[in-house]
Structure 1
Amino acid sequence: MSTETEPSSAVAGQEIEAIAVEFERREFTPDELGRIKRTHRRSPRIGEARAEVYTFRASPSYKNRIRQRAETEEKSQSQVIRDALDAYL
């Protein structure tokens, strides 16, 4: 598997720069500004409560096993971990 992007689908650095310049120069309406400001990252909800982020140390072998299980079950890696915790606790 190649890690290079096909030239036809790649966005060149000059194109990105042009998009950034256009964005900076554009005059946004108050409604547009309101929508842009509301798009900041928020904690997702799981059920009725806001999700919390937990950090813990684990064996490096878990990373690949979690990824493989997530792909097999067509779930996110986070969901695989939540399911494992639910089954254990």
Structure 2
Amino acid sequence: MKRALSMSSLLAVGVGASAVWLSNKPNRIKAETFLRDLKRKVIPTVYEKSEQLPIEKGGNPHPHDIPDNKMVDEGSTYAVQFYNEKMQ
């Protein structure tokens, strides 16, 4: 209980201090430019990482790709075979 009370009081102090700091117009401008620059730096790196994922065959496999279809088929039977052995 004490820890939750101290965390909430620290949060309240932080919100109050930031409200006082942001009440000054030059500080608001600094905060806006900082957040805008941070957004410009973070968002491109997120998109770059998502494009680098090794997804070449996502979704449904091609019907004529025999090795891939065999792998998918074996994967589905493994769980059923494991369950049957467990139950017997």
TM-score, normalised by the number of residues in structure 2? 0.32
Q: Which has the greater radius of gyration?
A: 2
Task: Answer 1 or 2: higher relative contact order, Cα 8 Å, separation at least 6.
Answer: 1
Structure with the larger helix share: 2
Structure with the larger strand share: 1
